[in-house]
């Protein structure tokens, strides 16, 4: 860092010698390699961390939306205590299924990309699909949870039984799935924009 005129000092970090390969390092082709190398390795570390963080957030979203789906789908206790009598719960179930499918496919794709090192789509397209998909599914999840909350609340004022308890837990799982996906959407928004200039 203190000797920007001696780029060979930084060769232990794996940087190419700038005099021999001037076009290998796209972002920093100047001789000031001391600053550039540490900036690039910092950036690599950050991107690696973000990739893992995004995978964890998607995995959590998958888990929570799967739980929400299972709890709500099994919430049938006869008579008026069936979830499919209420449009709010049908909406919640539909969105939980959608979110399970979306996050499942995304998690599989990311695991595949990390393990094989190959990209299925072009990087920019995949970053854009990630961001838009995360955003839209997060909006749908918070919308479905919000729609189901007031009726459940009103039901639980009158009575507390297994039906209202299951509904409440399915709703909270949807809210957790929303929180994970909102985090993941922020990370993929970050990725989307950094892609544009590399």
Binding site for its own copies (CB under 8 A): 22, 29-30, 87-88, 135, 138-139, 142-147, 149-151, 153, 182, 186, 189-190, 192-194, 196-197
Name the maximum alpha-carbon separation found in the chain. Answer: 80
Q: Which is nearer to its own copies, 27 or 108 (CB)?
A: 27
Q: Which is nearer to its own copies, 29 or 104 (CB)?
A: 29
Provide, rounded to whole angstroms, the least separation between the CB of residue 84 and its own copies.
Answer: 15
DSSP classification of residue 179 = H
Provide, rounded to whole angstroms, the least separation between the CB of residue 195 and its own copies.
Answer: 9
Closest CA to 187 of 54, 55, 79, 1: 54
- Asked if residue 184 lies in contact with residue 106, where contact means CB atoms within 8 angstroms, the answer is no
Which class for 5: exposed (0-12), middle (13-18), buried (19 or more C-beta within 10 A)? exposed
Q: Which is nearer to its own copies, 28 or 169 (CB)?
A: 28
Tell how many helices (H) and how many strands (E) occur in the chain.
4, 0
Provide, rounded to whole angstroms, the least separation between the CB of residue 30 and its own copies.
Answer: 5
Q: Which is nearer to its own copies, 54 or 88 (CB)?
A: 88
């Amino acid at each position: 860092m203190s000797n920007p005129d001696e780029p060979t000092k930084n060769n232990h970090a794996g940087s190419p010698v700038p005099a021999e390969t001037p076009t290998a390092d796209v972002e920093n082709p100047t001789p000031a390699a001391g600053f550039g190398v540490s900036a690039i390795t910092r950036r690599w570390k950050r991107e690696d961390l973000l990739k893992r963080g995004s995978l964890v957030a998607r995995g959590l979203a998958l888990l929570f939306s799967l739980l929400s789906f299972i709890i709500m789908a099994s919430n049938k206790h006869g008579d008026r205590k069936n979830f499919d009598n209420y449009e709010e719960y049908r909406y919640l179930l539909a969105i939980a299924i959608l979110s399970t499918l979306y996050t499942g496919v995304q998690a599989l794709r990311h695991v595949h990309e990390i393990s094989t090192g190959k990209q299925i789509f072009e990087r920019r397209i995949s970053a854009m699909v990630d961001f838009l998909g995360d955003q839209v599914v997060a909006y749908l999840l918070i919308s479905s949870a919000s729609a189901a909350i007031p009726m459940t609340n009103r039901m639980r004022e009158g009575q507390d039984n297994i039906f209202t308890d299951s509904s409440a837990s399915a709703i909270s799982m949807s809210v957790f799935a929303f929180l994970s996906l909102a985090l993941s959407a922020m990370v993929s928004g970050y990725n989307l924009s950094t892609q544009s200039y590399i």
